Structure 1
């Protein structure tokens, strides 16, 4: 009787181990990220999820009235890409506005253009921007200030997508520059 009980426990342990392994193996695999979207770039030209395919991609969601996080992240992202030289030439970078009411294509183009010629701004109708942000698991919320003024609370990580548009990882706000560049290099290696 005891040997039967031990045998059952061993089989149960093996089954739980296999299920745990299978769960983490599937969680660690890249999965398609986001959903189809139709917005505009800083020049007012249509842009869709197709822009995130065929090359490694870095995507940051922010807004032009941001006092610190957004300009810092854009500046750092541009610096990381420059520091990679030819190794990072295939990475495409995008800044998606979470404040499309104020961030028109022209405003966005000027804002991003003052920091980088490697980063493309994306904006559009507020409902479409919200749909895209939700699909990409990005949080944002309008936070009232004095009078009619407001700011935006938002996710402050750079999303990394591989050449198929699959989620590859993130670069956190304030992450060490060497670590950020190493992540971008791994992204390029993945393709």
Structure 2
């Protein structure tokens, strides 16, 4: 048998093993997230706004938790309440792990959404949710950092707000990992949060 023939023989002998190894790698690899996965994001790197009690909050305040940052407004007729209700359901589906999942709500309508009203609004969904109410300039700067779109839409004598409905999710290390679309079901959202929680242990004292 010539050298080329030997090479072909060995190659054929090794092929099943290579295929088996490839199959094992596919089975053992973690499933894809349901939401859009983000790695090494060039946006959403900083969040610095006062909460409803007047304390300036940053992403560092939520280390050890999976945090969903959502931009909305209180007079939103359906999109914002639906997003917050979904977050409540995500916490319920997570069970005990839900204690490490939190929503941070940033109002894009600071002219009408006062700290007191925002706090009462969020309490109706979950008291652990954090509300951030900045000045119009602070909100604009934060929205730009997150690449969030919002604008006033006149409605006769008043106005409503058009805005991005994505929930930006950070892992327990404070890194932006997911962009959750408004249409994603609570079950899929909860599965993604559970996977992020499994990546890092809870911070001491939580």
User: Which residue does 2:135 correspond to in 1?
Assistant: 125
Whole-angstrom distance in 2 between the partners of 1:164 and 1:37: 14
SS in 2 for 1:163: coil
In structure 2, do the counterparts of structure 1 residues 38 and 171 end up closer, same or farther at CA, with 3 Å as the change threshold? Answer: closer
For the pair 1:101 / 2:144, whether they are aligned, the reply is: no
**Deviations 1:71-98, CA, capped at 9 Å, x for gaps:** 1111110111122111232222211101
Kept in 2: contact 1:159–1:171 (CA 8 A): yes
Alignment of 1:1-191 (within 5 A): 29-31=39-41, 33-147=43-157, 149-191=158-200
After TM superposition, give the deviation of residue 69 of structure 1 in Å.
0.4
Kept in 1: contact 2:104–2:130 (CA 8 A): yes
Whole-angstrom distance in 2 between the partners of 1:100 and 1:54: 29
In the superposition, the TM-score normalised over structure 1's length comes to 0.78
Whole-angstrom distance in 2 between the partners of 1:118 and 1:28: 25
**Deviations 1:20-46, CA, capped at 9 Å, x for gaps:** xxxxxxx96333642444321122222
Runs of 4+ in 1 over 4 A off after TM superposition: none
Equivalenced residue count is 164
Structure 1 stretch 32-41 or stretch 92-101: which is displaced more?
A: 32-41
Long gaps (5+) in structure 2: 1-36, 201-206
Structure 1 stretch 99-108 or stretch 157-166: which is displaced more?
A: 157-166
User: Which residue does 1:11 correspond to in 2?
Assistant: none
Kept in 1: contact 2:93–2:187 (CA 8 A): no
SS in 2 for 1:89: helix
Whole-angstrom distance in 2 between the partners of 1:168 and 1:35: 11
Give the number of the structure whose alpha-carbon radius of gyration is greater.
2
After TM superposition, give the deviation of residue 171 of structure 1 in Å.
1.9
